[in-house]
Amino acid sequence: MNSKTSLLRTALMTAAITLITPVPQAWSALYKPGDTVANFSLTVRRPFTLPNGQVLPAGNSVQLEQLAGRIVFLEWFAVWCPFCTAAAPQVVAGIDNYYKSRGGNPDGIEVLHVAVDQESNPSFRSRTETFIDRYSFVHVVNDYNATSVNKVRFQFQNTGQPIFAVINGVTNSPSHRPWQLLVNHLGYGDSDFSTELASFRAKIDAVKAAPPAPLMLSVPLLMTGGPVQFAVNVPPGRKARVEISEDLSQWGLLREITGGNEPVTVEDGNTSSTQRYYRVLLN
């Protein structure tokens, strides 16, 4: 990089970082990695599908807590910012596509990339739509509405863009607290973003999934004057076989279950005095 290019890049970076006016002193306590992020709301820019499948129409609010169960990767951008433009395709490749192709992080946790527009001036709306389409952003929100502008981003950085925040939304992870901030990063870097992306991925990959819930939630009990009963928890959409044996070597099918949102009570109507054993196997 020659001296003119270096000076020009420095000037552009300075301009891009200082275009946003610093926030009032009352808002100056910024989140730091390791902090627990309080629930906040952003405004849906395009129809937004929540992890539970619910579709929120444009103009609705979406809360951080509605994204539970995922690692949330937030990217604040402004369409006029050259470093936002430079970072966008690298985030799509290095975060979006990277984790989609791998089925999430090493523990199988989905990484949800949310692009956050911070430019509220209506004159930039058309250019912003083109920007969103160019980089195929799927989950897009605005950090402004009729009553506030950039209220959320100023909790992370008080000047500049792009801003990247990574938050653990796995509420029962053994490695991280619910809503723990993993990354709070300002800017694109001097020449390339690959080092920063690798650092982000290292933080994301360290999050461990919750241990699976036991399939058999209660000890089989012989009901007075009735059958043996116990509760079985099968993950939603999965199928399981409840099997029975009298000698732990020969097993027979007692019941097949398709998982839902609630445990299922299983009954063995055989009321004989023969000792019996039970197990649950996922198909």
Average pLDDT of 126-136?
96
Q: Which of 180, 178, 143 is nearest to 68 (CA)?
A: 178
Residue 212 covered by a domain: no
pLDDT at 230: 86
Structure tokens at 40: 């906040």
Residue 214 covered by a domain: no
The total number of structural domains in the chain stands at 2
Residue 216 covered by a domain: no
Return the higher-pLDDT residue of 189 and 14: 189
- Percent pLDDT > 70 in the chain is 84
Tell me the residue type at 81: C
Residue 130 covered by a domain: yes
User: What CATH number is attached to the domain comprising 197?
Assistant: 3.40.30.10
Please determine, for residue 94, whether its predicted confidence score (pLDDT) is greater than 70.
Answer: yes
Range of the domain at 55: 3-205
Domain boundary among 175, 205, 235: 205
pLDDT at 220: 67
Please determine, for residue 222, whether its predicted confidence score (pLDDT) is greater than 80.
Answer: no
Regarding whether 226 and 201 lie in a shared domain, the answer is no
In the structure, what pLDDT confidence band is assigned to residue 229 with cuts at 50, 70 and 90?
confident
Regarding whether 157 and 36 lie in a shared domain, the answer is yes
Tell me the residue type at 194: S
pLDDT at 225: 54
Q: What does pLDDT average to over the chain?
A: 86
Residue 25 covered by a domain: yes
In the structure, what pLDDT confidence band is assigned to residue 9 with cuts at 50, 70 and 90?
very low
Q: Which of 183, 61, 175, 47 is nearest to 109 (CA)?
A: 175
Regarding whether 199 and 228 lie in a shared domain, the answer is no
Structure tokens at 41: 């709301």
**Residue 208 backbone dihedrals phi, psi, to 5 degrees:** -100, 145
Domain boundary among 160, 181, 205: 205
Q: What's the whole-model pTM score? A: 0.72
Residue 247 covered by a domain: yes
